Amino acid sequence: MEAEKIEYFRNVLIDEMKSLLGEADKTVTEMTSDAANFPDPTDRATQESDRNFELRIRDRERKLINKIKDALERIDAGEFGICEECGEEISEARLKARPVTTLCINCKMEEEEKERRQ
């Protein structure tokens, strides 16, 4: 892939990481500031489930952040945009839609097919 395009994807990934980290910070702040404000047990229960919900979101965010880190590492290693499975180039349209992907569309479809059969 051309250096210019690599730079484009690097910026996309960094921006996405920044916004995810911004969101993650906000969640932590909201969680800690809310904790002191609900002395009533009913409210605390509601708050507890809200918190589980937040933590689930955070889990997803963390996974995505890791994927973005991996993608940035692949950029540095010169492996970005190469399918992990078959070694072919991943189409730019696919990378634009999902820059963290490590599989070309054919391998991704095969993987999904396998998962469905299990």
Residues of this chain that bind Zn ion (CB under 5 A): 83, 85-86, 104, 107
86 is in an annotated binding site: yes
Collapsing DSSP states into helix, strand and coil, what is residue 89?
Answer: strand
- Rounded to a whole number of angstroms, the minimum distance from the CB of residue 102 to Zn ion is 9
Minimum CB–partner distance for residue 85 and Zn ion (Å): 4
66 is in an annotated binding site: no
**Residue number, 22 or 78, with CB nearest to Zn ion:** 78
Measured from the CB atom, is 50 or 70 closer to Zn ion? 70
Q: Is 36 marked within a binding site?
A: no
The dihedrals phi and psi of 36, each to the nearest 5 degrees, come to -85, -15
**7 vs 112, beta carbon nearer Zn ion:** 112
Query: By C-alpha distance, which of 27, 71, 69 is closest to 52?
Result: 27
In sequence order, the β-bridge partners of residue 89 are: 82
Q: In whole angstroms, how close is the CB of 100 to Zn ion at the nearest point? A: 15
Contact 104, 91 (CB under 8 A): yes
- Tell me which amino acid residue 43 is: D
Considering the complex, what minimum distance in angstroms separates the CB of residue 75 from Zn ion?
Answer: 18
Q: How far apart are CA 5 and CA 90, in angstroms?
A: 13
- The CA-CA-CA angle for residues 22, 23, 24, to 5°, reads 90
Q: Give the residue numbers of the binding site.
A: 83, 86, 104, 107
Q: Give the residue numbers of the binding site for Zn(2+).
A: 83, 86, 104, 107
